[in-house]
Amino acid sequence: MQDPIHYFEPNQALSWRQARLEGPDARDFLNRITSVDVKNLAVAQGTPACILDAQGRFRAYFWLWCLGQNEFLFEMEGGPEDRLFKEFLGVIDQFTFAEKMKLTTPTPRGLWVFGSPAEPLNHGSRDYGRPWTTLWDAPAPASDWVRADLDLLESWRIAALRPRPGFEIDAQSNPLELGLIDAVADQKGCYPGQEIIEKIVAIGAPARRLVQLQLSGPAQAGTELADGAGKLTSVSLKTGLALALVRKTQAQEGKQLQILGTTTSGTVLKVAPYAKS
């Protein structure tokens, strides 16, 4: 039996936001400051992308879409009080000098659709283990679509071993330790944090790794692991799965990790990759 089409309205739950950048200098500008190869991004193509600091850590994370030769759309989680979105706007302003381009921040209603036929803004299945599409200014959901809540989405995301802004993605983490290798281009020209990213790859592994755990009992995100092994970052009560950012020596499938201050342990099921195979 085919899975039903699910939909989710992210504007309220996630403060799902968009920004648009267009102008003759937009492509070159984004190629200089982001971690992805914008120079060769085709029209109608999208990719997860980052803006990093000099130490290779996140300043911003978003989906970047090419709408035209010199027209680009950003999609991102704004977070509580829109703090993440405001940080993104501040970073863009910091890097902007005399470029001929214009940034706008429209506020249309967004709709996520899971399992629908391909649409222009199709994100693929990396984030939730199933294809999903963003529809902006969308009509009402179809009568046979099933409403998804945030708990269900989080269970899908954790099962897909995918990080989220404000949970795993923050100012202390970098894309390689979180498995966001699709948000970092190979053999790309200079961008902020490039030297650190290349150094991590050359050394062989980041100092921390994102892992998926099967929990033996209840636990809360943000709880430390015993013996300084790391910290739980996301927990799904629906599935008993969790994500944790741990020291690379602890990132081994089958490894048992104790949740500090509880009788709950977690077994490492998967380790996020840090390099393309």
CB 133 within 8 A of CB 116: yes
User: When comparing pLDDT for 1 and 177, which is higher?
Assistant: 177
Residue 197 counted as domain residue? no
**Are 154 and 20 contained in the same domain?**
yes
56 pLDDT more than 80: yes
Size (the chain), residues: 277
**Are 10 and 135 contained in the same domain?**
yes
Residue 217: give its domain's CATH number.
2.40.30.110
pLDDT of 203: 82
pLDDT of 27: 98
**Are 14 and 139 contained in the same domain?**
yes
**Are 15 and 105 contained in the same domain?**
yes
Residue 42 counted as domain residue? yes
Nearest to 24 by CA among 103, 104, 101: 101
pLDDT of 276: 74
Domain count, the chain: 2
pLDDT of 61: 97
Average confidence (pLDDT) over 243-272: 97
**Are 144 and 16 contained in the same domain?**
yes
Residue where a domain terminates, one of 126, 144, 159:
159
Structural domain for 255, as ranges: 207-277
What SS3 state is found at 252?
coil
Average confidence (pLDDT) over 67-77: 97
Q: CA-to-CA distance for 206 and 170, rounded, in angstroms?
A: 16
Average pLDDT, the chain: 93
User: When comparing pLDDT for 196 and 276, which is higher?
Assistant: 196
